[in-house]
Amino acid sequence: MGSNERRERAKEETRRRILDAARELFASEGAEAVTMRRIAERIEYTPTAIYVHFKDKLALLRELMTSDLQVFAAHFASVAAVEDPIERMCAMGHAYVDFALTHPNHYRLLFITTLPIPKTELAPAAGTGSPEEDAYTMLELVVGAALASGRLRPEHTDLPLLCQTVWSCMHGVASLAISMRCHAEFEWRPVPDITAATLHCLVHGLVRDGDPFLSKLGAHP
């Protein structure tokens, strides 16, 4: 390995450490409260060293949001291969909660942490209508396919309302799942069971009676 390659690898490793520390601090303390100095202290760097890689906190936050949205979108790659639109919607629900469990700080930053400016200004992909990069567009396509199949109950015709209802249900499971360890006063049921039960109730409320997927879904977990 040449000296230039070693320098580049060291530079990328430093950037990764900065981003990881920033993500953790933004998620736990809030993006507004965390300073560049605070991030530097977390990884035992000088503030000057941080500014070599990012000109300010906003630039750091932009890169973090862009990269985390890409990680989020990649988590749903297998969902597109599910042919049945109702089953695809359920698969997306399971994948969404799994993402929160496997990437809790990513999830907190993307969907819980209050940011200083809108996501559309932080991450170029947000709000662009690209399902590979934009989480809401991905959700619209999945729920829209279920609606277009004609298998939902006749009262369900408002696509934005359906999308936001599905998202609200799964966000509730996901956000509770990553904070359960802070609430040990009672015994939580396994997260996959809670996810399955939530989707069971959701699908039975959305899909017409007698739909073949309901029998595939099985009894309430």
Residue 28 has pLDDT above 80, yes or no: yes
Output helix, strand, coil percentages for the chain, rounded to the nearest 5: 70, 0, 30
Q: State pLDDT tens for residues 129-171.
A: 565 567 788 889 999 999 999 999 999 999 999 999 999 999 9
Looking at the fold, whether 66 and 138 belong to one and the same domain comes out as: yes
**What pLDDT does residue 124 have?**
62
pTM: 0.87
What's the rounded Cα separation, in Å, for the pair 61 and 19? Answer: 8
What's the CATH number where 34 sits?
1.10.10.60
**What pLDDT does residue 119 have?**
67
Looking at the fold, whether 71 and 47 belong to one and the same domain comes out as: no
Tell me the residue type at 189: R
Domain boundary among 10, 26, 55: 55
Residue 121 has pLDDT above 90, yes or no: no
Looking at the fold, whether 81 and 188 belong to one and the same domain comes out as: yes
Residue 182 has pLDDT above 70, yes or no: no
Q: How many other C-beta atoms can be found within 10 angstroms of the C-beta atom of residue 15?
A: 15
Looking at the fold, whether 179 and 164 belong to one and the same domain comes out as: yes
Looking at the fold, whether 70 and 44 belong to one and the same domain comes out as: no
Tell me the residue type at 27: A
Least Cα distance to 194 among 113, 71, 101, 104 occurs for 101
Looking at the fold, whether 42 and 109 belong to one and the same domain comes out as: no
Domain boundary among 35, 55, 75: 55
* Total domains present in the chain: 2
Looking at the fold, whether 29 and 66 belong to one and the same domain comes out as: no
Tell me the residue type at 148: A
Looking at the fold, whether 34 and 86 belong to one and the same domain comes out as: no
Looking at the fold, whether 65 and 43 belong to one and the same domain comes out as: no
Query: DSSP character for 115?
Result: -
Question: Which residue range is the domain that position 12 belongs to?
Answer: 1-55
What's the CATH number where 110 sits?
1.10.357.10
Looking at the fold, whether 82 and 4 belong to one and the same domain comes out as: no
